[in-house]
Amino acid sequence: MNLLVVFLGAALVNNYVFTKFLGICPFFGVSKRTNTALGMGAAVTFVIVFAGAVTWTVYHLLLEPLKIVFMQQATFILVIAASVQLLEMIIQKTNKKLFDAFGIYLALITTNCIILAVAIVNVMEQYNFLEAVVNSLGAGIGFALALILMSGIRERMEQSPVPRCLKGVPIALIITGLLALAFSGFGGII
């Protein structure tokens, strides 16, 4: 039950894109087509869960016993970069199809702030291992959901008469604002 609350909280109520503004750069960058949005969303979910589990383990088994918690940022960012690269190599060797689908996105993901943010939130909220994994999964699915919603709207926007000064990013920001307003409606469910 507690896990369900964590999951819904991360995916809907405190959606990382709409309420915490994380992962905004790729959110605007790759939300122009629905199928690229799907690929990116899936790749990010995959990496978040993996990186979330690894950073939780590193923090609780290495940083805390050694009392070097202040090294958190430097360690996390290196662990994330390394695990993304490792994941890329594993997928390339074992599953060619998956690599073709994820490949281009994986390298970009290292600099996606949502990954580091989820790792830090897992530590800040003092989640246990299972809760940390579920929170990461929820964050990833919430990000994918936001990306897919946005890409659907943007595909239609191309046919609409948008004022010249609002074309591109400004109108995308305003649409995101309206989506964020809609998502605040989830506030009451947990």
Partner 1 sequence: MKQATIELIKGLWKENPTFRMLIGMCAPLAITNMVFNGIMMGLATTFVLVLSGLVVSLIKNIVPHKVRIPVFVVIIATFVTVADYYIAAYYPDTHRVLGLYLPLIVVNCLILARIEAFASKMPVFKSFMDALGMGIGFTLALVIISSVREILGFGTWLGIKAMPASYQPMSIMIQPAGAFITLGLIIALINIISRKKTSGDSA
Smallest separation (angstroms) from partner 1 to the CB of 65: 20
- Is the CB of 101 or the CB of 157 nearer to partner 1? 157
The answer to whether residues 144 and 78 touch, using CB atoms and an 8 Å cutoff, is: no
20 is written with which tokens? 């915490």
- Provide the minimum distance between the beta carbon of 169 and partner 1 in the complex, in angstroms, as a whole number: 6
Q: Which is closer to partner 1, CB of 8 or CB of 98?
A: 8
Instruction: Return the DSSP state at 11.
Output: I
**Which of these, 39, 31, 12, 43, lies nearest to 150 by C-alpha position?**
31
Q: How far is the CB of 134 from partner 1 (least distance, A)?
A: 19
Contact indicator for 116, 76 with CB cutoff of 8 Å: yes
Distance CA 4, CA 16 (A): 17
Query: CA–CA distance from 43 to each of 4, 27, 107, 116 (Å)?
Result: 23, 13, 10, 15
Q: Which CB, 24 or 98, lies closer to partner 1? A: 24
The span from the CA of 128 to the CA of 108, in Å, is 29
Helix (H) or strand (E) segment spanning residue 147: helix 129-157
CB of 146 to partner 1, least distance (A): 12
Instruction: Compare residues 36 and 72 and give the one whose CB is closer to partner 1.
Output: 72
CB closer to partner 1 out of 21 and 99: 21
Q: How far apart are CA 126 and CA 24, in angstroms?
A: 26
Minimum CB separation from partner 1 for residue 117, in Å?
6
The footprint of partner 1 (CB under 8 A) covers 18-22, 24-25, 28, 70-74, 77-78, 81, 111-113, 116-117, 120-121, 124, 163-166, 169-174, 176-178, 180-181, 184
